[in-house]
Amino acid sequence: MLSPHERTDTAPRGGLLAGKRVLVTGVVTDASIAFHAARIAQQEGAEVVLTGFGRLSLVERIAARLPKPAPVVELDVTDRDHLEALAPRVREHVDGLDGVVHSIAYGPEGVFRFLGAGWDEVSQAVHVSAYSLKSLTAACLPLFGPGGGAVAGLTFDATVAWPHYDWMGVAKAALESTNRYLARDLGGRGIRCNLVAAGPVRSMAAKAIPGFPELAAVWAGRAPAGWDPADPDPAARGVVALLSDFFPRTTGEIVHVDGGVHMTGA
């Protein structure tokens, strides 16, 4: 069923991303923010390529649910060979990129025990969830033209300590810092780097967080604009907006799409 704000056209004239080519990572289910960012990007005129890790057939089945068919390129962001091969693989489907969506995060079970986590677990979480923003962006640089483009990622506000989130919160803090340094180094190439700090969304990633219902319950009483953890659409729209030309001089920023919880007190 379409949400109240969802459009049914697949490539409208004059859409926010008309004529743009966008790479979207992290589409695992159609409940993910990444899936809905890909959907809205297509509806706003973009040509979309997806990446998948592990069971590519699963990602391909989910990709078939988009308004238009989207090719899937295999990518493990911790594998140097995959990163080096990314640009030529993407070029098999589009002749360049104008935007990249980073929606990649992972932490072993141990990272949700702050005092008990070992470095092996923590380093894996930081590598996949934070360093990968640099790795992915660097791998995509040959695909950006002289006009530059935009990188948009997803975070969970790392300015405070959240219940149950533990070392994943530290990894998100590293992600947010990585975004700022990328913005510094790539601004001269016309590439903007920004993040969307989304409220909690019920997704496959959320299922891995112990106590997620308790974490999500914070939003019920504190979001002045309201928040529905079953609706990834608002955060996905924030991602698409940052990929568009409507933020031509915004970079290194974290845009909160969380119903306003980030600015409320107790």
DSSP 100-167: EEE------GGGGSTTT--HHHHHHHHIIIIIHHHHHHHHHGGGBBTTBEEEEEEE---SSPPTTTTH
Q: Report the domain count for the chain.
A: 1
Query: Does any domain span residue 6?
Result: no
Instruction: Enter the tokens of residue 89.
Output: 């693989």
Residues linked to residue 148 through DSSP beta bridges, in sequence order: 145
Q: Does residue 94 fall inside a structural domain?
A: yes
pLDDT of 55:
83
Question: What pLDDT is recorded for position 14?
Answer: 73
Q: Judge whether 11 lies within some domain.
A: no
Give the separation between CA 98 and CA 229, rounded to whole angstroms.
Answer: 30
CB 46 within 8 A of CB 99: yes
Tell me whether residue 13 is in a domain.
no
Residue 5: its pLDDT value, please? Answer: 44
Give the residue carrying structure tokens 């989304």.
Answer: 198
Q: Does residue 119 fall inside a structural domain?
A: yes
Q: Per the domain annotation, does 88 fall within a domain?
A: yes
pLDDT at 39: 98
Q: How far is CA 229 from CA 115, 233, 235, in A?
A: 29, 10, 11
pTM over 0.75: yes
Low-confidence ranges of the chain (pLDDT < 70): 1-13, 204-207
Phi, psi of 243 (to 5 degrees): -80, -20
Q: 243 is in which domain, residue-wise? A: 21-261
Rounded to whole angstroms, the Cα distance separating 55 from 110 reads 24
- CATH code for the domain of 257: 3.40.50.720
Instruction: Give dist(CA 66, CA 42) in Å, integer.
Output: 8
